[in-house]
Structure 1
Amino acid sequence: MSKRKKISLTVIVVAVLTIGTSLTTIVKNSVKPERIAYELPKSSITNKNWKTIFQNTSAIDQFKVLNTGSVKVPLDGMLNTKKLEKDHNLSDEMWVDVFVFMFHHKEKGWFMINSGLDNTFQKDGNIKGLLAKNFIIESKQQEGQNIASQLKKENKDIEGIFFTHLHGDHTAGLPELDSSLPKYVGKGDEYLDIPLLYHSNHLTNESQIIEMDWSKGISKEPFKQVIDIFGDGSFLGIHTPGHSNGHLSYLLMTEAGPKLLTGDASHTKYGFENNIEPGWIDDQKVAENSLSQLINFHKMFPNIEVIYGHQK
């Protein structure tokens, strides 16, 4: 081996070791909020069938959908494009809405599901890093559409925020909300924050996440694990992993009828109606199974309103 080749090889080895060390340091410096366990109450629906559950007088008397802005994302993130027909006519990029769902429980008060977008999305948002544009390419938001402005108009005291999962587009409203609000999520769901690569100011190491243990849920066909969050059958969390490991879809028994929020187990109506799971997944087979459960439930009860993760 020539002297020049030895020097080049040495440079490459040093570079690889340096990058490896840097990545290790970056991962160690990622944000890891404190996690505490939510004590699930005794469920009132354990021995009831779905029709009986639907007939119960609902404790949820108000439900609202707030659109906090739109983001442009890759089609292959929203849908497993390998399952699309060749003539699908869908663009390689698509605009999707980012929702916050608000509901009022007669005894427990007002709650949110997901946090929407803060006002930085009128420009380039609050998710930065070398990989950020691979997920959110561009954003659109009108003045006053951000979550803090909409909550001010609603003039409601919020008791807590339930998350379908902790991906950035669902936590992006947190910087402009009261940091003391309780934050609930499915057990084990990962908060992704990697300095330089994909970094946000949504949560800190001092933030507290309350984990709901879906493994203690009950089986209600076609779902494997359902948690009765308030214990009265009004607000149910359905473990639908695949897009993320602790992902929860939610079923709310409102006075206007049951509402099924798929979360990102199905981002779009197209994916739901064509049985195509998201492209962004932790585990494809698991994601397929979660989507199938939701679709089968809707087939069993077609009158239930379905609201998709990023489309109404």
Structure 2
Amino acid sequence: MKPFTFKATTHSTAPASIGKPVGSAVMEAVIDEPGPVEVDTVGTDWEANLSGLLNLKHPKAVAAGLKERKEPIKIYTHVVRHPAHGFFLVDTGVSQRLVEDPTGVGVGFMLKKYGGIDKMNPRPSTAQVIEAQGVPLAGVFMTHLHLDHVSGFPDIPLDVPVYTGADEAEARLFLNAVAQGTNNHLLEGRPPLQELQFERDPDGKLAGVNDVFGDGSFFAILTPGHTIGHLSFLARTPDGAVLMTGDVSHTRWGWENDVEPGTFLAERDASRESLLALKALSKRHPKMDVRLGHQA
């Protein structure tokens, strides 16, 4: 008998009105060409158990003598500016309101107690990041719907569209019994989540790719494992390609040693496959700037 599980959120969803599925070959044909998108990455201080961030049972971690400890990390939001489509965020950063009054913005008791909110340092806050752009926020692209990635939502205007991977909201886990209520509160009053669509990669190099703006400048890459609908993003900038891995890899050590996250994932085999697929992509395009989930 399967254990009873919960969706990440019961907030409504709809197929995204932007983006089209493409093969990885379409994306890789233009990766090394300069593009029009600008990306700035903003990080706020946090910490987490290393055993969640990194599989300490992996032979490489054992050989390196890595042990459980509190690991200093960052919560990132990526500021993405497209010359025609405007200013977007990849993940939401951290709201000062959420840190100061988690109950007031809908964070449930268990997440408030055990989610590490008291260790979040919103400097700068999401509101400050948005204000600094001087133009309205056009949308938010979510790598996934975990607390440390949705913690800026209290500062996101309610009418701003939110884009996720297909099935990210519907993905079922027992742990969502704790997270679902918080996600529902943070998404309350917003339009349906816009689910970017994917098709099987004909070249088999990646799980799926979506040309988000239809001009080959910004791609969503389906990277399941951490969550079933987890996304990574690739932007073509004037200085070259920027890959935002999300939580495919939390740490620099994990990325460099091909070791997937520890307890912070849904499916270990899929998580490892997504990590190795992005590593292979970066090796095929060695000038790519890789920005990891929680460490530089």
User: Taking structure 2 as the reference length, what is the TM-score of the superposition?
Assistant: 0.83
Question: How far, CA to CA, are the matches of 2:252 and 2:150 in structure 1?
Answer: 22
1:77 aligns with 2:56: no
Shift of the alpha carbon at 1:189? 0.5
Does structure 1 conserve the Cα–Cα contact (< 8 Å) formed by 2:9 and 2:181? no
Does structure 1 conserve the Cα–Cα contact (< 8 Å) formed by 2:50 and 2:70? yes
- Residue 41 of structure 2 corresponds to which residue in structure 1? 65
Unaligned runs of 5+ in 1: 1-23
Unaligned runs of 5+ in 2: none
Residues 179/39 of structure 1: CA separation in 2 closer, same or farther (3 Å cut): closer
Q: How many residues align?
A: 283
Residues 217/116 of structure 1: CA separation in 2 closer, same or farther (3 Å cut): farther
Shift of the alpha carbon at 1:162? 0.5
- Residue 33 of structure 1 corresponds to which residue in structure 2? 11
Does structure 2 conserve the Cα–Cα contact (< 8 Å) formed by 1:72 and 1:138? no
* 1:240-287 deviations in Å (ceiling 9; x for gaps): 100000001111111111001110011111111111111211111111
- Residue 121 of structure 2 corresponds to which residue in structure 1? 141
Question: How far, CA to CA, are the matches of 1:49 and 1:122 in structure 2?
Answer: 39
- The one-letter code matched in structure 1 to 2:73 is V
- The one-letter code matched in structure 1 to 2:182 is H
Does structure 1 conserve the Cα–Cα contact (< 8 Å) formed by 2:15 and 2:195? yes
* 1:194-243 deviations in Å (ceiling 9; x for gaps): 469973532227652001122x2644563231111111111111111000
Question: How far, CA to CA, are the matches of 1:31 and 1:48 in structure 2?
Answer: 33
The equivalences for 1:107-256 within 5 A come to 107-120=84-97, 122-123=99-100, 125=102, 127-130=107-110, 133-136=113-116, 138-141=118-121, 145-190=124-169, 194=177, 199=182, 201-204=185-188, 207-214=191-198, 216=199, 218-219=201-202, 222-256=205-239
Which residue among 280, 286, 292 is the counterpart of 1:302?
A: 286
SS in structure 2 at match of 1:130: helix
Residues 209/258 of structure 1: CA separation in 2 closer, same or farther (3 Å cut): same
- Residue 70 of structure 2 corresponds to which residue in structure 1? 93
Which residue among 262, 271, 274 is the counterpart of 1:287?
A: 271
Residues 65/54 of structure 1: CA separation in 2 closer, same or farther (3 Å cut): same
SS in structure 2 at match of 1:231: coil
Question: How far, CA to CA, are the matches of 1:132 and 1:80 in structure 2?
Answer: 25
Residues 190/263 of structure 1: CA separation in 2 closer, same or farther (3 Å cut): same
Residues 254/221 of structure 1: CA separation in 2 closer, same or farther (3 Å cut): farther
Question: How far, CA to CA, are the matches of 1:197 and 1:247 in structure 2?
Answer: 17
Shift of the alpha carbon at 1:150? 2.4
Question: How far, CA to CA, are the matches of 2:139 and 2:108 in structure 1?
Answer: 27
Greater CA deviation, 79-88 or 228-237? 79-88
- The one-letter code matched in structure 2 to 1:81 is L
Does structure 2 conserve the Cα–Cα contact (< 8 Å) formed by 1:219 and 1:226? no
- The one-letter code matched in structure 2 to 1:181 is V
Shift of the alpha carbon at 1:124? 7.4
SS in structure 2 at match of 1:224: coil
Shift of the alpha carbon at 1:300? 1.4
SS in structure 2 at match of 1:266: coil
